Each structure stands twice: as C-alpha cells, then as structure tokens.
C-alpha cells in the first residue's frame, strides 16, 4: 500500500528536522569534563593548560577546530600514533562534548623566552615576509592570537616548542591537514620558525 505524497513529505520533513536538531543539540559539558579526565588529562593537564611544552595547551581553543583535529587523528589524515589511539575510542558526540568543555576553560598566559628573536617573530607574525610572499600570521590568527572561530585556531600563549614542532611538521610534509599552513611553513627557515613560535608564546 502506497502512502500519500503528503505523508511522505511530512515524514521526510520530520526526519530532516530531527537531523538538524541533533546537529545543533547543546553539547554536554559534564560528559565532556568526565571524558577529558579519563582520556586527555595526563598529557594536557586538568584544565587544558598543558605544563609539558611538547604537548599543546587546549584551554579556550575553538571547539570546531578541536573537533576537526580529533576527527582527523581518528581517520589518519593527521598522523600521530598516540592521538589516533585516543581519538579512535571517541564518538562524534564525545569529541564535541570534550571540545566544548575545553573551549569553556580559561587559557593561561605564556611568555616569550628568546629576547634576541622576539622582534623578528613579531615582524613575521604581524607583517609576514614580503619578499617570499609569506602572509602575516595575524591575518588568520588575529593580532592578539585569538584566532577566528571555526576557521583558524587560537595561538596565544601556546608553547613555543609545540608551535615550532608543528611548523616543522608542515614544512617537511609530515603534517598535511592544512594546505595553507604547508604553503607558509615551506618558505620559512629554522630561525624564522623559532622566532615566530617564541613570539606566539607571549601573545595575549
């Protein structure tokens, strides 16, 4: 027996409405906090402000960016054996809950350490390197390092060691989940990477 077209349309509309509701459902921060405490805390600290320079601080990061990175660790698009193991155990809802909980945590200020390089780092961050067509970092990550939600990550206060390691990974091709960053890092030398990474650590 065939259903009338009006009933089929109504059913389809209801399904679409349910799907849209599921996607826009409010994240469960309590579940996010609990999962974070089970899975992430050992490397990224209790409040997301990592105390180990090789592990990124995640507090106050844009949740959409965090979800993207976790999804790409899980799929293998971003290659890291440790993170793949953790991300593979998370559902889409788990990732979203953790990401929104982290976004709700207050990031702590960092500090630049390399006095001899910080001015070079500032020039690159704010003005790029014109003769090599390297765009200013501030254009995408904002002048104070806050980033642009859902597009470009927050950088302010990030450990210089971690930022430098990621720029080097983009440059070498080891990390290949951002064509823009691969293009930028490919044109930078070691001194420039070290300088801009140190400057970013002190942004606020």
pLDDT in tens, 158-194: 999 999 999 999 999 999 999 999 999 999 999 999 9
Q: What is the pTM of this model?
A: 0.86
- Distance CA(98)–CA(116), nearest Å, equals 38
Do 118-201 and 28-103 have the same topology in CATH? yes
CATH placement of domain 118-201: 1.10.760.10
pLDDT tens per residue across span 79-104: 999 999 999 999 999 999 999 999 99
Residue 80's region, left for phi above 0, alpha for psi from -120 to 50, else beta, is beta
User: Domain coordinates of the chain in residue numbers?
Assistant: 28-103, 118-201
The CATH number corresponding to 28-103 among 1.20.120.430, 3.30.470.30, 3.30.450.20, 1.10.760.10 equals 1.10.760.10
Q: Is residue 23 over pLDDT 70? A: no
pLDDT (0 to 100) of residue 11 = 40
For the chain, give the mean pLDDT: 90
Mean pLDDT, to the nearest integer, of 50-76?
98
**How far is CA 198 from its chain centroid?**
18
**How far is CA 8 from its chain centroid?**
42
Distances, alpha carbon 109 to alpha carbons 6, 75, 103, 150, in Å: 58, 32, 15, 22
Mean pLDDT, to the nearest integer, of 3-22?
40
Residue 24 confidence class, pLDDT cut points 50, 70, 90? low
pLDDT (0 to 100) of residue 25 = 75
Mean pLDDT, to the nearest integer, of 57-74?
98
Residue 69's nearest CA partner among 58, 47, 198 is 58
């Amino acid at each position: 027996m065939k259903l009338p077209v009006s009933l089929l349309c109504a059913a389809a509309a209801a399904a679409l409405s349910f799907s849209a509701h599921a996607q826009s459902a409010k994240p469960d921060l309590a579940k996010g906090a609990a999962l974070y405490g089970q899975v992430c805390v050992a490397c990224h600290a209790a409040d997301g402000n990592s105390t180990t320079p090789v592990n990124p601080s995640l507090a106050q990061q844009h949740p959409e960016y965090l979800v993207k990175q976790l999804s790409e660790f899980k799929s293998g698009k971003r290659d890291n054996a440790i993170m793949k193991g953790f991300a593979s155990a998370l559902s889409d809802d788990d990732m979203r809950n953790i990401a929104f909980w982290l976004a709700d945590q207050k990031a702590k200020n960092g500090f630049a350490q390399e006095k001899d390089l910080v001015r070079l780092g500032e020039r690159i961050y704010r003005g790029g390197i014109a003769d090599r067509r390297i765009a200013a970092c501030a254009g995408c990550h904002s002048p104070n390092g806050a980033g642009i939600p859902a597009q470009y990550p927050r950088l302010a206060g990030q450990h210089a060691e971690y930022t430098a390691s990621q720029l080097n990974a983009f440059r070498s091709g080891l990390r290949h989940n951002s064509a823009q960053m691969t293009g930028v890092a490919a044109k930078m030398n070691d001194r420039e990477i070290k300088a801009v990474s140190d400057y970013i650590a002190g942004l606020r």
